[in-house]
Amino acid sequence: MNWRNKARLAKAISLLPDGISSSAYYFMQRRFGGLRSASPDDHLQGAVTIVESIRRHGRELRGGETFLELGTGRSLALPIALWLCGASRIITVDRNPYLKSELVFEELSYSRNQQETLKRVFSPYNQERLFNERFESLTKFKGGLTDLLSLLNVCYLAPVDAAHLDLPSESVDFHFSFGVIEHVDSRLLDGIFFESRRVLKHDGLAVHYATLADLFSGIDHSISPVNFLQFSQEEWDSIAGNRYMYHNRMRVDDLRGLFERTGFRILELRAKVHPESLRLIVSGEMPLDARFQRKSPEINASQHVWLCAAPALYSVRSLS
């Protein structure tokens, strides 16, 4: 599908009244888009990566830790995967109540039918007794969404303003997200991460994954992952400034600055540069808007990033 046509369609649907708009977009995604089939593989692997990052920085899941997820979305793949890895309690919050029971149970069915695949994804944990007990209880689970949330010890809160949470200070061990930060208006992110700094324990960790590529390049292969860097902010807002296709176009350096000014110390930042995007930028074939011309080609060509941070006053174990 041509990316501009996709943008026009998403914009038109976003202008409908709220209830109709969200239902219409969900229908389109289920019929023609990325929700046609339930495949939680990316989120399952993401959960494993989050736990690996936690362990690299000197923390273990010994029981009793609280996870806080920013941006639940439409399914529970990430909380389920973290629960399998040993998470005790997960609070997941979203600005919009998008969670869909049918997607949750389709992904659960996928997990039942792909047990060998899942055990490979969870290979660092599939020999542990807790993992196997939980995996068995998940495959045998019968009940509704409320029952599943109870099994997982997941508290789902939506709609909620993530910049103003009804949680005590220093009550959360791990703050995390997967493919969410890039979809939040950059003007709101400082408030969200000041709040995450407040609710994190002094030895807590923030682990976040962000997609830095133009999402339209996933549906229209004629454009590159850096296609959206050529537009001014005004032009980009007119093309994709709606709730369904919004991308703040933050780059790696912007994310680093976000965490540092909201009271975090960066422990680990792993960005993947897209080779063809880098070539297009270095050669000048991809013109850049003034906002991005001051950044290095590698920063602009980064496709995604994993970032782990701790409250600034917390001294962490050195990675040797």
Whether pTM > 0.75 for this model: the answer is yes
Segment 253-270 mean pLDDT:
97
Distance (Å, rounded) from C-alpha 40 to C-alpha 178?
A: 12
pLDDT at res. 34: 82
Residue 320 pLDDT exceeds 70: no
Domain ranges of the chain: 37-212+250-311
pLDDT at res. 316: 42
User: Over the stretch 155-167, which tens digit does the pLDDT of each residue have?
Assistant: 999 999 999 999 9
pLDDT at res. 185: 95
pLDDT at res. 317: 40
Second CATH level (architecture) for the domain 37-212+250-311: 3-Layer(aba) Sandwich (3.40)
The overall longest dimension of the chain from CA atoms, in Å, is 57
Residue with tokens 């590698």: 298
pLDDT at res. 124: 84
Residue 298 pLDDT exceeds 60: yes
Average pLDDT, the chain: 93
pLDDT at res. 314: 52
Residue 219 pLDDT exceeds 70: yes
What share of the chain in percent tops pLDDT 90? 83
Q: How confident is the model at residue 37 (pLDDT cuts 50, 70, 90)?
A: confident
Inter-residue contact 159 to 97 (CB < 8 Å): yes
